[in-house]
Amino acid sequence: MTYTALIIGGGIAGSLCAVALRKVGITPVVYEAYDRTADHTGAFLTLAVNALDALRALDFDLGDVGFDTPLIVFTNGSGRRLGELPYGTTLLDGMVSRTVKRADLYRAFRERVVRSGVHIEYGKRLVDAESTGDGVLARFADGTSVRGDLLIGADGLRSRTREIIDPHAPDARYGGLLNTGGYARGVSTGCEPGTMNAIFGKRCFFTHTTHPSGEVWWAANPAQAAEPTPAELAAITPEQWRSRLIDLFRHDRGPAADIIAATGEIFAGWSTYDVPTVPKWHDDRMVIIGDAAHATAPSIGQGAAMAIEDTVVLAKCLRDSPDIAAAFAAYERLRRERVERVVAQGNRTGGWKTLGPVARVPHDLIMSLAMKQMARTGNDPSRWIYEHHIDWDKPLQEVPSEAR
């Protein structure tokens, strides 16, 4: 049967979901709440090899976007090297993790959506939806409505689809950290291009990597116990961010303060969140994917990766299942345990960034010993995250009941 799918949200999850559904013969239409594209989104992210491997199932190659990031080096605020690790594993063909500007990733996905013949409607904020027996009816804030065979909520942290499926679903949970960053020119870090450098500073976490062009991409995570309101965050000017961050790093040994000073425009800050266990992922003709179902803290770089994996698995389930209900059930069965483990890991790792100066001393010792052990044995406890592979060509009934 050929379905028409209403995809709510035109970000990473929604755009790629449209591509995946098109590949299996489903007709998707994307409904984006904002009235414009996200081409000017400033931040960057690193896609680990599990995300890049999942993209291959959709014949998607990001070889011309961003740059390889095969290694991550850890230091503390005193300049002491705590250790280094591969940034995830390396695939058999040599593929490694890749760092990209979020705007470039959006653009690449959207261009693929357009080439696939998928229609995108902007300015369509979902307010309500209901199953109609043989389909679903979605209503938008502009007064319009549309019908389809199924509805996929790729509408992020504040998902309206999640609320419709389960009015008692948990809200996004504040992680105690803010996030900002930027791109610096004319500053030397002394680090090899393509190496991610993670610094557990005395008062703030900082990470930076150098593009092959010499531009330095960086991010900082100031800890803040009380969640700021959107208005409070919006009121912080770039120069106030600059002053605050330089003050946080002024007692550290390392390039953070110099990188910040050399940055022309600092990102407007945002809060970090995750979404704890969501009891219901689907209901009749509606389902949620990506951050709407299982947002993870950005500390382990798996938020986009989990959304990408979701889109591939959901499309495969719809391709191979006898009906929509069976497809949604199979999707949840194949995804829930894995993504909830990733969310839990992200929450633990994010907690390290909120430690004060006293607590950082044992943390640094434990981290240093753990990385020495991993380097000696080759046993990375996070390997299960990166080595995950989705076999697109294998029929669904041959897939194990637990995907790890």
State yes or no: pLDDT of 399 exceeds 50.
no
Percent of the chain with pLDDT over 70: 89
Residue 56 near residue 179 (C-beta atoms within 8 A): no
- pLDDT number for residue 90: 79
Hey, how many other C-beta atoms are within 10 angstroms of the C-beta on 147?
Answer: 13
pLDDT (mean) for 76-100:
86
CA distance 277 to 95: 32
State yes or no: pLDDT of 180 exceeds 50.
yes
pLDDT in tens, 247-290: 999 999 999 999 999 999 999 999 999 887 899 999 999 999 99
pLDDT (mean) for 363-387:
73
CA distance 17 to 24: 11
CA distance 218 to 208: 4
Of residues 196, 229, 230, the one with CA closest to residue 46: 196
Q: What sign does the CA torsion over 16, 21, 25, 28 have? A: negative
CA distance 271 to 178: 4
pLDDT (mean) for 86-106:
87
Q: Supply φ then ψ for residue 221, to 5 degrees.
A: -125, 80
Residues of the chain with CATH 3.30.9.30: 173-273
List of long-range contacts for 234-241, beta carbons under 8 Å, 24+ apart:
234/268, 236/268, 236/269, 238/265, 238/266, 238/268, 241/180, 241/266, 241/269
- Quote the tokens at residue 173: 């949970």
Residue 62 near residue 52 (C-beta atoms within 8 A): yes
State yes or no: pLDDT of 358 exceeds 60.
no
- pLDDT number for residue 38: 59
CA distance 341 to 339: 5
**191 compared with 154, residue with greater pLDDT:** 154
- pLDDT number for residue 275: 87
- pLDDT number for residue 2: 83
DSSP label at 223? B
- What sections of 167-282 are H helices per DSSP? 230-234, 238-249, 256-261
- pLDDT number for residue 42: 73
CA distance 285 to 280: 13
Q: What is Dmax (Cα atoms) for the chain?
A: 64
DSSP label at 92? T
pLDDT (mean) for 346-350:
68
- pLDDT number for residue 401: 40
- pLDDT number for residue 400: 44
State yes or no: pLDDT of 292 exceeds 90.
yes
- pLDDT number for residue 85: 84
Hey, how many other C-beta atoms are within 10 angstroms of the C-beta on 369?
Answer: 12
**Checking phi first, is residue 254 left (phi over 0); if not, alpha (psi -120 to 50) or beta?**
left
Percent of the chain with pLDDT over 90: 71
State yes or no: pLDDT of 305 exceeds 70.
yes
Of residues 190, 160, 183, 181, the one with CA closest to residue 172: 160
pLDDT (mean) for 297-312:
89
Q: Which fold has domain 173-273?
A: D-Amino Acid Oxidase; Chain A, domain 2 (3.30.9)
> Angle formed by the axes of helices 102-115 and 12-23, to 10°?
30
pLDDT (mean) for 17-25:
96
State yes or no: pLDDT of 58 exceeds 50.
yes
- pLDDT number for residue 125: 97
Residues of the chain with CATH 3.50.50.60: 4-172+275-392
- pLDDT number for residue 94: 83
pLDDT (mean) for 344-366:
64
pLDDT in tens, 28-46: 999 999 987 656 667 999 9
State yes or no: pLDDT of 312 exceeds 70.
yes
State yes or no: pLDDT of 129 exceeds 90.
yes
pLDDT in tens, 201-222: 989 999 999 999 999 999 999 9
SS3 37: coil
Residue 118 near residue 22 (C-beta atoms within 8 A): yes
Question: Which H or E run includes 67?
Answer: strand 67-68
Of residues 282, 285, 280, 377, the one with CA closest to residue 323: 285
pLDDT in tens, 63-80: 889 999 999 999 998 888
Of residues 36, 33, 27, the one with CA closest to residue 147: 27
- pLDDT number for residue 297: 79
Q: Are strands 270-274 and 173-184 parallel, antiparallel or unpaired?
A: antiparallel
pLDDT category of residue 402 using cuts at 50, 70 and 90: very low
State yes or no: pLDDT of 403 exceeds 60.
no
30, β-bridge pairs: 7, 120
**376 compared with 17, residue with greater pLDDT:** 17
On whether the 4-172+275-392 domain is CATH 2.30.30.180, my answer is no
State yes or no: pLDDT of 371 exceeds 70.
no
